[in-house]
Structure 1
Amino acid sequence: MKDTALLLCDLQNDFLHARGAYGRAGQGAAAIAALPMRLAPLARHVRAAGGVVISTHFTLVPGRDGEPMVDPHLRRLRPFLARGDFAAGGWGHALVDELQPADFSVEKVAYSAFHQTRLEWVLRKAGITRLLVSGIVTNGGVTSTARDAHVREYEVTIVSDGCAAFSDVLHETALASLASIAGIATVSEVIG
């Protein structure tokens, strides 16, 4: 597994913790909340086998006035996002405690963890050719990152029970759409 990285997409306090941006707004899903405990054994397994764990962090960059620069599309979906949410270096921006520490962390401003980030540079320098993709949301960051990895010729496996969406239908539809470009496996199958 020395050529393998577990990608933890956006498993941040602002998404998952009750005091985070989404928790304060009453946004969440049981399937999303269950991910850290489900993925912790896989992260330990990947590290023990010589692989690396990389967390990606959705980031809202503050503008000149301190308010976050939010794309209009996201502003319509999540009007509750406010000053300080998903700010780099803040508690809300950090990987949840259950999955700490990541070997590498990558800030991102779009769905894909490859878009305008240093992820590909880190993967190349670390000798990674295989990606286990997990996190949230299956139909957003997970799908976009997996598709970008595929076109960059990484061997991609989606950890099916290691990712989630705000509805089971969205999750299952996204997994079905990814089956043509990626392997699909559960946490226990990957560990086994």
Structure 2
Amino acid sequence: MTAHAIDPRRTGLLIVDLQNDFVHPDGAYARGNQKSADIAALPDRVLPVADALRQKGGWIISTQFTLVPGKGGEPFISPHLRQIRPFLTKGDFAPGSWGHSLVDELQPADLSVEKVAYSAFYMTRLEWVLRKAGIETLMVCGIVTNGGVASTVRDAHVRDFSTFVLSDGCAAFLTETHERAIADLSTVAKTLTCGEAAAMFSGA
């Protein structure tokens, strides 16, 4: 696809869950010893795409996985998540907290949307703000490829957004899991690298 095939001003870089509690060495997942070099490398890899799109008037959209606080601030955690991530506790992924925020390298986001499940469209205002902003094309990156990214991409597809996946702008905890997910997503979205996306906007 050429640089002229999409309008950068109607394009959004959709950053799925690149939050301090997931990615930062002081975040909740690092505390629970859930670390991945591939995931840690994503902010620097995605940054040139974000910078190039910003310069052309495009949109940076951050989705934030959220553990909604209940009484006393104790978070609502779904049973399956509690089983696989027993280290999650009060204050993790809490709205407005440092851990909940998009990583510093990629800030600021033009739009931010809290999410409570894999898909950033599930029970959120994401589609509403995208339509209001006039966004027609989404370039999706973030974590994890087979979870939040895959679910969000498929939901974007059925909502008739022109959807791209940044193949090296996503990651999972296992490389083979990431690669399978990218192959599966190629049936509903176009794939390209961060370098290709940055070059596309730089030349637009």
Give the TM-score normalised by structure 2: 0.93
The alignment status of 1:161 with 2:185, answered yes or no, reads no
Distance 1:61 1:180 in 2: 34
Alignment of 1:123-134 (within 5 A): 123-134=130-141
Give the 4+ runs in structure 1 shifted more than 6 A.
Answer: none
CA deviation after TM superposition for structure 1 residue 26, in Å: 1.1
Distance 2:17 2:72 in 1: 26
The corresponding residue for 2:82 is 75
In structure 2, distance between residues paired with 1:78 and 1:190: 34
State the Cα deviation string for residues 50-96 of structure 1 (Å, max 9, x = none).
11000000000112142111111111111110000000000000000
Quick one: distance in 2 between partners of 1:105 and 1:96? 13
- The Cα of 1:19 is off from its aligned counterpart by 1.1
- Secondary structure of the residue aligned to 2:151 is helix
Once the two structures are superposed, what CA deviation does each residue of 1:136-192 show, in whole Å capped at 9, x if it has no partner? 000000000000000000000000000000010110010011011000000111122
Counterpart amino acid of residue 6 in structure 1: L
SS of residue paired to 1:2 = helix
When the two chains are superposed, the root-mean-square deviation of aligned CA atoms in Å is 0.7
- Within the candidate set 12, 20, 26, 1:5 is matched to 12
Distance 2:69 2:177 in 1: 30
- Name the counterpart of 1:28: 35
> Which of 47, 61, 65 is the equivalent residue of 1:58?
65
- Residue 51 of structure 2 aligns with which residue? 44
- Structure 2 residue runs of 5 or longer lacking an equivalent are 1-7, 200-204
Amino acid in structure 2 at the alignment position of 1:11: L
Q: Which amino acid in 1 is paired with 2:182?
A: L
Equivalent in the alignment of 1:116: 123
Cα deviation for residue 47 of structure 1 reads 0.9
Report the more deviating stretch, 67-76 or 85-94: 67-76
2:13 partner SS: strand
Matched, 1:171 2:178: yes
Q: Percent identity?
A: 62
125-134 or 63-72: which moved more?
63-72
Q: Distance in 2 between matches of 1:66 and 1:189?
A: 43
Of 190, 193, 201, the residue aligned with 1:186 is: 193
Separation of aligned partners in 2, 1:38 and 1:180: 24
Opposite residue 66 of structure 2, the aligned amino acid is T
**TM-score, normalised relative to structure 1:** 0.98
Moved more, 139-148 or 43-52: 43-52
Secondary structure of the 1:113 match is coil
Q: Which runs of 5+ in 1 are unaligned?
A: none
